A and B are shown apart, each in its own frame.
Chain A
């Protein structure tokens, strides 16, 4: 554990001197919390009449049940923001891991590190946690700001209850960390093959596509983000994470790093 703590502290001391990383971890989550609140604020008072249901997907109307159509619209709008809290833990660790690994490659500081008694598992865990922890904390912080802001921007009670529902907590507390692990291992794998952190970020950014699928699935009425779907996604992510950690550990063998990383 001591080696992992040392490595995490070193990573943070280095990577948080990079302005792009600081912006990604600090300002972006704040913006992504304030953006939906701003939209909800501007939409305040814009409620649909009882007969104007054609703007909502039938699946959403069905999910709303007895909730008033105006509140249902607000919940629908709110649900569009949920994927934001699944995107944050995805792009933050990508930025950290890309700059961390590619930085070590360009300064050739990996070999002295590999010459220490640190184990492969400690090395991988230290690198991964240094990226995952800020991502998860920033996401949770952003979510807390969002929850605090909801009543202030005039969210209705059903909308508030939706944001406090198990579905939302599953998305942020469960899926968030799982997405982070997936993103960081994927970014580490990509970073091992490229020599520019921006290229590593861009390639790793492909992971955002499935999350966008959730957004468009909702808009098209194909999906409703409910607890069952969140738990299914979480289970799938857990399996993918285990597989990626297995391959990541193989990639982090000393000989592979020294002889095959480009």
Chain B
């Protein structure tokens, strides 16, 4: 659905003759119906990438295609088939919610603008407030209105930039559920967010990006790549000798003690946990709980981003 090959973008710097490399050699494929999380620090070039993919700005090098339309060649077709939620809602504050959507329904040449406006105002719970000026809306309502605007023309590809930014937990949850519904309809979603927990929950795959793409995979695969699979055994008491005994088992890659917990890295917990458990019990350990240690996406993200910063310095 989205194909990117060697995409780069440079801007003229503040000083004459200097250039700023915003995006470097980005290659990426996002499948139809996939929710793809695009993560990176501020100034990483995420917005520039989204703007290129929405045919708002032209790449300096490389190529990209969205929904089969080539960026730079079929720009109008791209704009017709993608929906974008920009970082700020960018509403017409003096116009009513209904008028805001009506303008965009007409600009997107929606066949029945009134019906589309009614449908999305209803879906996002704004129908009762349709006559109110957008400027009078709360942050959450403004965000919902902006999401409705992005969906009016039924785009197959959606670019959502920080969709839950600044929303209260209830509104954020509603937006997340709505994104899940959209995925259920088979739409492709390119999600830019700083909320790593949200990305973890919503995204099929994530890309970690800082001017260039540093990693791309499913959250689980990225965890495995960085940390392997780790199991934590909560013990009533931990004898340091047990650590060595477990580490000596052939399938264990690493074993270490943290407080009263024994953390073991291994290839296949499903097969090897019983072996370790039997060994611990034989050694006289009282095992209270056993569970897989799950590193947060934040750990993964920070490891990539910090590693990149260290490499550059």
A17 to B150 Cα, complex, angstroms? 26
Q: Count chain A CB atoms within 10 A of each CB in B86, B99, B149 and give the residue with the most.
A: B86
> Contact: B88 with A116, CB < 8 Å?
no
- Chain A binding surface, main DSSP class: helix
> Contact: A110 with B108, CB < 8 Å?
no
Shortest CB distance A11–B (Å) = 10
Query: What are the residues of chain A within 8 A of B149 when measuring CB–CB?
Result: 112
A258 CB contact (under 8 Å) in B57, B76, B80: B57
B58 CB contact (under 8 Å) in A3, A13, A110, A255: A255
Query: What are the residues of chain B within 8 A of A111 when measuring CB–CB?
Result: 56, 84, 86, 90
B106 interface contact, C-beta 8 A: yes
Interface size on A, as a range, is 20 to 34
A172 to B104 Cα, complex, angstroms? 36
What mask results when residues 7 to 42 of chain B are scored 1 for a CB within 8 Å of chain A, else 0? Answer: 000010000000000000000000000000000000
A115 CB contact (under 8 Å) in B79, B91, B99: B79
> Contact: A107 with B107, CB < 8 Å?
no
Which residue from chain A places its CB closest to the CB of B109 in the assembled complex?
A: A117
| B residues 52-106 in Cβ contact with A at 8 Å | 54, 56-58, 76, 79-80, 82, 84, 86, 88, 90-95, 99, 103-104, 106
Interface set of A (CB-CB < 8 Å, partner B): 2-3, 6-7, 9-10, 13-14, 17, 107-119, 254-255, 258-259
Interface set of B (CB-CB < 8 Å, partner A): 11, 51, 54, 56-58, 76, 79-80, 82, 84, 86, 88, 90-95, 99, 103-104, 106-109, 146, 149-150
Extra inter-chain contacts (19) besides given A13-B94, A258-B57, CB under 8 Å: A2-B109, A3-B106, A9-B103, A10-B99, A13-B95, A13-B99, A14-B92, A14-B94, A108-B90, A111-B84, A112-B104, A115-B79, A116-B104, A116-B107, A117-B80, A117-B109, A118-B107, A255-B56, A258-B51
